[in-house]
Amino acid sequence: MTHIELMAEILVPLRGDETDVALLQQSLALADLVNGKVASVYAQMDPTELMAWSADGAFATTSATLIQSARDGNEQAWTDVQTRVEALAGGRAGLTVERLVGLQDRLLARRAALSDIVIFACETVRGKTNISPVFEALLMDAHAPIFIPRTPISMLTGTALIAWDGSVEAGRAAKAALPLLRKASKVIIIQSVGALEDEGKDLSDPARLQDWLGRQGIVAHIELMDASKDAASEILKACTTHGAGLLVAGAYGHSRAREFVFGGVTRTLLKTITTPSLMLCH
Report d(CA 129, CA 171) in Å as an integer: 29
- C-alpha 175/C-alpha 166 separation (Å) is 13
Average pLDDT rounded to a whole number, residues 148-171? 95
pLDDT of 50 higher than 50: yes
Q: What is the pLDDT of residue 178?
A: 96
**In terms of DSSP bridges, do strands 146-148 and 117-119 run parallel, antiparallel, or are they unpaired?**
parallel
User: Measured between alpha carbons, how far is residue 103 from residues 75, 90, 168 in Å?
Assistant: 17, 31, 29
From 155-164, 217-226, 227-236, the region with the lowest mean pLDDT:
227-236
**pLDDT digits over 236-263, tens only?**
999 999 999 999 999 986 555 444 433 4
**pTM: predicted TM-score of the whole model, two decimal places:** 0.88
Model pLDDT, residue 257: 46
**Order of strands across the sheet with 95-101?**
95-101, 36-44, 8-13, 117-119, 146-148, 277-281, 246-250, 159-163, 186-192, 220-225
At 54 the pLDDT is: 47
Mean of the per-residue pLDDT values for the chain?
87
3-class SS of residue 40 = strand
pLDDT mean over 30-55:
82
> Helix, strand or coil for residue 191?
strand
Beta-carbon contacts of 127 under 8 Å, excluding residues fewer than 6 positions away, are none
Which pLDDT score, from 0 to 100, does residue 254 have? 54
For residue 55, pLDDT over 50 is answered with no
Angstrom distance (rounded) from CA 198 to CA 101: 46
DSSP state letters, 103-151: -HHHHHHHHGGG-SEEE--HHHHTT-STTHHHHHHHHHTS-PPEEE--S
In the structure, what pLDDT confidence band is assigned to residue 193 with cuts at 50, 70 and 90?
confident
Residue bearing the bigger pLDDT, 157 or 202:
157
On the question of pLDDT at 6 being above 70, the answer is: no
DSSP, res 6: P
More confident residue, 99 or 94: 99
